[in-house]
Amino acid sequence: MDKAQEIQERVELFFAQMAKRLPDDDVRRLRSAYEFAAEAHAGQFRKSGEPYIIHPISVASIVAEELELGVIPIIAAFLHDVVEDTKYTIDDIRARFGSDVAFLVETVTKHKMVECDKSKQVENYRQILGSAQFDVRAILLKLADRLHNMRTLASMRPDKQMKIAGETDYFYAPLANRLGLYHVKSELENLSFRYRCPREYEQLVEMLDDLKVAEDKNLTAFISKVGELIEASGISVRIELRYRKPYSIYRKMRSKGCDFHHVDGKHYVRIIFAAKDPHEEKQISLQIYSALTDRFNELPGSIVNYINAPKENGYQSLHVKLLNDQGGWEEIHISSERMVRNSRLGCSAERTDENVTAWLEKFNALLKDMAYHSEDMDYMDGVTSSFYNDDIKVFTPNGKMVILPKGATALDFAFEIHSKIGLHAVFARINGKLSPVKAVLHRGDCVEIGINESAEPDEEWQKHVLTYKAKRLLRSHFADKEVMPYKRCECCHPLPGDEVIGFKEADGTITLHKRNCSEAIRLASEQGDSIVAVDFEEKNSCLFPVRVCIRSVDRYHLLIDIVSCITEKQNLSISRLDTITKDRIVETSVDFAVHSVNELEQAMNSIACIENVDEVSRIDIE
Phi, psi of 479, deg, nearest 5: -65, -35
Q: Choosing from 50, 68, 85, 123, which is the catalytic residue? A: 85
Distance CA 222, CA 120 (A): 52
Active site residue 84: yes
Burial label, 433 (beta-carbon count in 10 A; 0-12, 13-18, 19+): exposed
Are 304 and 316 within 8 A, CB to CB? no
Residue-by-residue DSSP string for 474-486: HHHHS--------
Count the Cβ atoms, other than its own, within 10 Å of residue 30: 23
How far is the C-alpha of 483 from the C-alpha of 486, rounded, in Å? 10
C-alpha distances out from residue 340 to 49, 147, 163, 273, Å:
38, 21, 33, 10
Q: Annotated catalytic, 210?
A: no
List all residues 6 or more positions away from 162 whose beta carbon is below 8 Å from its beta carbon: 195, 196, 501, 515, 524, 531
CA distance 369 to 363: 10
Residue 333 burial (CB count, 10 A): 20
Q: Which of 6, 12, 35, 84 is catalytic?
A: 84
Distance CA 30, CA 24 (A): 10
Residues 6+ apart with CB under 8 A from 369: 468
H helix or E strand, kind and range, residue 120: helix 120-130
Torsion of CA 591, 597, 598, 604, to 10 degrees: 40
Instruction: Tell me how far apart the alpha carbons of residues 317 and 340 are, in angstroms, rounded to a whole number.
Output: 8
Other beta carbons less than 10 A from residue 373's beta carbon: 17
- Cα(361)–Cα(381) distance, rounded to whole angstroms? 20
Closest among 184, 110, 75 to 140, alpha carbons compared: 184
Residues classed as catalytic: 84-85
